[in-house]
Amino acid sequence: MNDLSPSLFSRWGALVVGGTIAAALALLVVSRLASASGDPPAPASAPASPTPQDSTVRTASDTTARRYSKSGYDITPWPREQVLEAAKSLTEEQRRILLDAGTEPAFCGVFTDNKEDGIYVCAVGGLPLFKSDHKFISKSGWASFFAPFDPEHIIEKVDRSHGMVRTEILDARTGAHLGHVFDDGPAPTGKRYCLNSGALRFIKKGDPIPAESMPALETAYFAGGCFWGVEDAFAKVKGVIDVESGFSNGKYEKVTYKQVCNGDTGAAEVVKIVFDPKVVAYGDLVKQFFRIHDPTTPNRQGPDIGDQYRSAIFVTSPEQEKAAKEIIASLGKNPGFSKAFNGRPIVTQIAPVTNYVRAEEYHQDYHAKNGGQCHVRGYQGEF
């Protein structure tokens, strides 16, 4: 970015909205000095360090705290009554293992020597627990794994029963007993997760996956100019769990903000959105996207010019691509949209997301930390 970059004026000028002109000028000076050194601009008054985030989230549509794992599964603990109801369909032996911390006899479990490809889910609740890729034959007499599907899907607890001190493992969603974990496993973890087969259900690769064993969350990617403003606008949407500024669909797997500003990486400034489709549909996020940017200006949003500011929807599935194309086609026939943008056609790119990279930390939650706003006003009419 050169000293007269319009995007720089746009970004720092937006800070006047949330603060004083003097503060904005001070930030601009700091930015220029930092830009020359290659370091990120520091706010004149540094915001308090954010507290470490866990996987507990509270959506605008639900006052009940819910927990999601990093792999997108709902791991909100079930009430005991719900666990007992779900366990009614299991065998008496499975209920003894899962609900009463029982142990099946060695070398009797149906999955002890199973070598098929697939995933192992909890027999009650269906939360994915282990992958066949992490399974090994330990000769202990029980199904053994060296790593879990997602560490957040497993709860570890000290077990002092039977005159021993061991580490018990429980299902994070239902609290059901699974087995124990020991420190005598193979590389790379050195762990041996020792499982009762009766606590598991196996889903063979290629077989249909039940809804309870599917991720609860989905991910969307939108490029609509300065990601500070796009991130801020989506963070307010009911059903959005997390927003993150980054870069994607460039030539390289790893890029920095400074490299993207040079204009030769092909990467776009994007916002990665994690959302709960039960609360907000993907199509509604696409509509929100068109409300907060101008989809008719190639490689530009307001004063920000360059292919990193292009309008784009980067999709993760054929369903997302279909929804985005349908909304764009509808807007193309919408007289209100045509009037709002003086007949200019939509230039929004639709492509599979590639080479996504999280942006530097100082870009994250920028307006939430520093005030102001910088997204462009988009289409405000009926869809």
Residues serving a catalytic function are 194, 226
Spatial CB neighbours of 134, under 8 Å, sequence gap ≥ 6: 145, 146, 147, 148
Rounded to whole angstroms, how far apart are CA atoms 305 and 302? 8
Indicate the burial class of 165 (C-beta count within 10 angstroms; 0-12, 13-18, 19 or more). Answer: exposed
Cα-based torsion angle of the residue sequence 143, 144, 149, 154 in order, rounded to the nearest 10 degrees: 90
Output the CA torsion sign for 190, 196, 200, 202: positive
Residue 236 pairs in a beta bridge with: none
Residue 57 pairs in a beta bridge with: 66
Rounded to whole angstroms, how far apart are CA atoms 269 and 260? 8
DSSP classification of residue 149:
S
- The three-class DSSP label of residue 242 is strand
C-alpha gyration radius of the chain? 25
Rounded to whole angstroms, how far apart are CA atoms 345 and 146? 54
- The three-class DSSP label of residue 223 is strand
Rounded to whole angstroms, how far apart are CA atoms 6 and 9? 5
Quick count: other Cβ atoms within 10 Å of Cβ 40? 16
Distance of CA 312 to the CA centre of its chain: 19
Rounded to whole angstroms, how far apart are CA atoms 95 and 89? 9
Rounded to whole angstroms, how far apart are CA atoms 183 and 192? 6
How would you list the strands of the sheet with 240-248, edge to edge? 349-352, 311-315, 218-224, 268-275, 240-248, 357-358
Write the CA distances from 9 to 19, 226, 264, 366, integer angstroms: 15, 12, 21, 16
